[in-house]
Structure 1
């Protein structure tokens, strides 16, 4: 397995063969299974939300925030079925990757002070230790604390409200702001993207970027993509 060669191949705009992708996914799972549900991360680090398989925008994200391995990243990434279908012509690549997702850590905590999750909070989670006890090596359930951490959203409300997603909750009590890391979200929303960088002193900087020309040329699906595939 030549990881450097694969990285160069991807950076050149090519995608890995199905066999190469399968090997890579198996390798990544061996690493992820050793990580905690609440993975400790040291600053400096840059936090990114969903990128939904938008590869060219990922490259622009790295141009904006700094390239790996010189810059450390936390990604909250999930769901890119359409992108896999477009590149490979079948769902095999998507299945390999979603198998890896079952091994991903649930959250990260930066310097013991900043908690990072894909979605948000849960009425069933009062402490970080409760997150550490969740059995994560499975598909995301449709309810409960694991589900809530993935699918809840901040909202300008007092307490909890039913989420229009059909999973997770809307949560509030204070005004919160959602930070996205996918410009022109799902190739049709036209939004600007941003990432959140923390330096050695935990000082924060929001960095913005717009879609790439390759993203702009992509056509969104004719019908809405469901949250759960």
Structure 2
């Protein structure tokens, strides 16, 4: 494998050959299998939130925070779905992991899932996130089926479309093999990382079944994300302005509050929980009076329509924090295919 050549190839907008991608995935799986469910990471390091297939914005993220290996990174999952270029995003991150394994840590997000990357669950979740009404949801699902899996924005005159990872791999390779190779890697991604023993990074949030970090260490992660239980909760839970626990409207994971978070941090000698998973218009948001939890969002103008800024959170060697903000690139909407199929209602 000529990793440097492959990195240049993908940065130039080309795809790896199918057998090259397969070789890369097998190689990275051998690296990931050695990582702990709570992977220790030393400062300095930069923490990133959701990317969601926005490849050009990922390149801008590296311009903002520094390139690997000069800058160390933790990516907190949700690399795929929504954007036009999930394949390129996941491929370049795998290449960087293969080339610089000690300088980049890849966590699993709820979208690193076979189910969410290929069926309507992901679409319904996206619509809920954007607070689109039930009628529009129904119209959009019908439109999705009519368009053969390509979701066109409801109520918009623009032709922006939001894609799932499975559909994208089918279009770019002509078959689902690339999707299978990548989703096999999903099962090897670690669940969390801990920076200098004091900052826990996880995609979603906490679980009522997990009181100590040691309980995360013994979760069996080499599988599809379950529909319930601690593994599911780490991927799906959200903080909320409550004290303890509440049922999540997502249908997976939990809502957890200030007391839960402060107790978890106290028991585990943590200063902070870093997570992603929720769109933040301002790019970064601390929660609770003690600011014991922060949401980092790294996909600017999410879905090419939300108008949000993005951020990354850097920790220096003294664990002092610096937030770096960035906005979308002008290239984002240049790579998406167009379809002439009209709305179906």
| Partner Cα separation in structure 2 for residue 177 and residue 184 of structure 1 | 32
Task: Quote how far apart the aligned CAs of 1:119 are.
Answer: 0.5
1:84/1:93 contact within 8 Å kept: yes
Task: Quote how far apart the aligned CAs of 1:54 are.
Answer: 1.5
| Secondary structure in 2 matching 1:223 | coil
Match of 1:189 in 2: 306
Judged with a 3 Å threshold, the aligned counterparts in structure 2 of structure 1 residues 218 and 184 are, in CA distance, closer, same or farther, namely farther
Provide the alpha-carbon RMSD of the alignment.
4.8
Task: Quote how far apart the aligned CAs of 1:112 are.
Answer: 0.5
For structure 1, the residue ranges without an aligned partner over 5 or more in a row are: none
Task: Quote how far apart the aligned CAs of 1:228 are.
Answer: 25
What TM-score, normalized to structure 2?
0.59
Judged with a 3 Å threshold, the aligned counterparts in structure 2 of structure 1 residues 224 and 144 are, in CA distance, closer, same or farther, namely farther
| Partner Cα separation in structure 2 for residue 109 and residue 151 of structure 1 | 19
| Partner Cα separation in structure 1 for residue 4 and residue 166 of structure 2 | 26
Judged with a 3 Å threshold, the aligned counterparts in structure 2 of structure 1 residues 11 and 31 are, in CA distance, closer, same or farther, namely same
Match of 1:44 in 2: 44
What TM-score, normalized to structure 1?
0.87
Q: Deviations over 1:15-40 (max 9, x none)?
A: 21222111111100000001100000
| Partner Cα separation in structure 1 for residue 239 and residue 341 of structure 2 | 21
1:150/1:168 contact within 8 Å kept: yes
Q: Deviations over 1:79-99 (max 9, x none)?
A: 844554554454332222111
Judged with a 3 Å threshold, the aligned counterparts in structure 2 of structure 1 residues 97 and 79 are, in CA distance, closer, same or farther, namely farther
Match of 1:88 in 2: 173
1:106/1:136 contact within 8 Å kept: yes
> Within 5 Å, which residues of 2 pair with 1:163-182?
163-173=248-258, 180-182=297-299
| Partner Cα separation in structure 2 for residue 33 and residue 176 of structure 1 | 29
| Partner Cα separation in structure 1 for residue 163 and residue 169 of structure 2 | 13
Greater Rg by CA: 2
> Within 5 Å, which residues of 2 pair with 1:107-118?
107-118=192-203
Task: Quote how far apart the aligned CAs of 1:53 are.
Answer: 2.1
Judged with a 3 Å threshold, the aligned counterparts in structure 2 of structure 1 residues 164 and 220 are, in CA distance, closer, same or farther, namely farther
Match of 1:156 in 2: 241
Judged with a 3 Å threshold, the aligned counterparts in structure 2 of structure 1 residues 96 and 154 are, in CA distance, closer, same or farther, namely same
Aligned length: 227
| Partner Cα separation in structure 2 for residue 120 and residue 228 of structure 1 | 38
Judged with a 3 Å threshold, the aligned counterparts in structure 2 of structure 1 residues 61 and 82 are, in CA distance, closer, same or farther, namely farther
1:44/1:199 contact within 8 Å kept: yes
| Partner Cα separation in structure 1 for residue 38 and residue 216 of structure 2 | 7
Q: Deviations over 1:172-210 (max 9, x none)?
A: 1269999x1111223332221111100010000111111
Task: Quote how far apart the aligned CAs of 1:62 are.
Answer: 0.2
Task: Quote how far apart the aligned CAs of 1:60 are.
Answer: 0.5
Bigger drift between 52-61 and 70-79 goes to 70-79
| Secondary structure in 2 matching 1:157 | coil
